[in-house]
């Protein structure tokens, strides 16, 4: 559990407090890893209207985007989005969510780095500021009225509660785990998942050797600086610089994680 951050309890308490007032929970997933980004404690939302945004579709495999959207839409209102999605499309979707409330109160939640702040900014028609919010910023929570919706102006930050190597590796690949907290076993496993999705035949040592050399990431003696190469490579992968790849492809697993979380 080395990658489990210490501020989780605080973030959880804040979400629970705000939850009482919320009618619709907008769960943001990363389209590259819909299972891994659903691996949080879902029970806290069980009596809420839940909807899903599959975000960062520009970084994922376009065929899988469609497949995932169809699958999740079997049970929940679902929309494929990315940073270029028009505000109007997002608002139309949110306003179409079935609810018994006249001015439903909406919160945007998800694991770190899936794009919650970007989505809140878009809903509110704000062009910048407040991205990359940290847990704890929630003090002085604000509700903002937007076209008949009452939106919580603060992302609900959730943390993975299901500790499997597979989920940790995929969270690493999409930039949802701080690289410093990850051990070598997870790096190796994440590389295998990446290589399989990208059709890369090399192992991590071979690959980083060539990658590090090509980027000039060398130590004094001229050997490749493996740590630097590893850090830069995984950062680039999470930013989509090594292909539009979808790592989660198992629909059954999604429903299982959703049910158990
Ligand atoms: P949060 O931690 O969930 O609030 O995520 P942010 O909204 O801060 O976004 C995290 C990073 O992902 C930022 O660098 C955003 O610019 C970037 N980002 C957000 N949405 C998208 C998207 O749809 N596509 C791409 N390529 N990047 C995105």
Q: Which of 211, 198, 203 is nearest to 244 (CA)?
A: 198
- What mean pLDDT, rounded, does the chain reach? 90
| Closest residue by CA, ligand 1 atom 27 | 56
The pLDDT tens digits for 130-166 are: 544 444 444 556 899 999 999 999 899 888 887 799 9
Question: Maximum distance among all alpha carbons in the chain?
Answer: 68
Token pair 């590893």: residue: 230
Helix (H) or strand (E) holding 155: none
Rounded to whole angstroms, what are the CA distances from 7 to 11, 40, 65?
6, 15, 32
Q: What is the mean pLDDT of residues 213-234?
A: 96
Please tell me what DSSP assigns to residue 234. H
Residue pair 248/33 in contact (Cβ under 8 Å)? The answer is yes
Give the Cα separation of 42 and 60 in Å (integer). 24
- The number of the ligand 1 atom at minimal distance from the alpha carbon of 28 is 3
The SS3 assignment for 191 reads helix
Compute the distance from residue 196 Cα to the ligand 1 centre, in Å: 25
Give the Cα separation of 30 and 13 in Å (integer). 24
The SS3 assignment for 26 reads strand
Query: What's the pLDDT at 214?
Result: 97
The pLDDT tens digits for 79-136 are: 999 999 999 999 999 999 999 999 999 999 999 999 999 999 999 998 765 544 444 4
Give the Cα separation of 102 and 104 in Å (integer). 6
Kindly tell me if the per-residue pLDDT of 2 is higher than 60. Answer: no
Query: What's the pLDDT at 70?
Result: 98
Q: Which of 23, 18, 56, 258 is nearest to 161 (CA)?
A: 258
Domains and CATH numbers, the chain: 8-161 (3.40.50.300), 165-238 (1.10.1580.10)
ipTM tops 0.90: yes
Token pair 């929630």: residue: 138
Determine whether 75 is exposed, middle or buried from the number of CB atoms within 10 Å of its CB (0-12, 13-18, 19+). exposed
| Closest residue by CA, ligand 1 atom 9 | 115
Q: What is the mean pLDDT of residues 40-60?
A: 93
Give the Cα separation of 183 and 176 in Å (integer). 15
- Pocket of ligand 1 from Cβ distances under 6 Å: 55-56, 58-59, 82-83, 110, 112-118, 131-133, 155, 240
Compute the distance from residue 45 Cα to the ligand 1 centre, in Å: 23
Residue pair 11/159 in contact (Cβ under 8 Å)? The answer is yes
| Closest residue by CA, ligand 1 atom 8 | 132
């Amino acid at each position: 559990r080395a990658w489990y951050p210490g501020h989780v309890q605080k973030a959880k308490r804040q979400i629970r407090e705000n939850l009482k007032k919320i009618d619709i929970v907008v769960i943001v997933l990363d389209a590259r890893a819909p299972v891994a980004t659903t691996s949080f404690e879902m029970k806290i939302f069980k009596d809420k209207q839940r909807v899903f945004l599959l975000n960062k579709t520009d970084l994922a495999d376009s065929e899988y985007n469609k497949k995932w959207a169809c699958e999740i839409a079997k049970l929940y209102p679902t929309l494929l989005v990315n940073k270029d999605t028009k505000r109007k499309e997002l608002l139309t979707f949110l306003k179409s969510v079935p609810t018994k409330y006249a001015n439903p109160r909406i919160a945007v939640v998800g694991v770190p780095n899936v794009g919650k702040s970007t989505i809140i900014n878009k809903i509110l028609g704000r062009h910048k500021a407040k991205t990359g919010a940290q847990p704890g910023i929630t003090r002085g929570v604000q509700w903002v009225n937007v076209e008949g919706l009452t939106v919580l102006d603060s992302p609900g930050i959730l943390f993975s509660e299901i500790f499997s190597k597979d989920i940790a590796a995929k969270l690493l690949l999409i930039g949802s785990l701080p690289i410093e907290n990850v051990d070598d076993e997870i790096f190796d496993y994440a590389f295998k998942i990446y290589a399989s999705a990208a059709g890369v035949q090399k192992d991590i040592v071979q690959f980083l050797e060539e990658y590090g050399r090509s980027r000039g990431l060398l130590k004094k003696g001229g050997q490749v600086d493996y740590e630097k190469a590893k850090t830069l490579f995984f950062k680039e992968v999470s930013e989509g610089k090594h292909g539009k790849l979808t790592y989660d492809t198992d629909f059954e697993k999604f429903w299982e994680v959703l049910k158990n979380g």
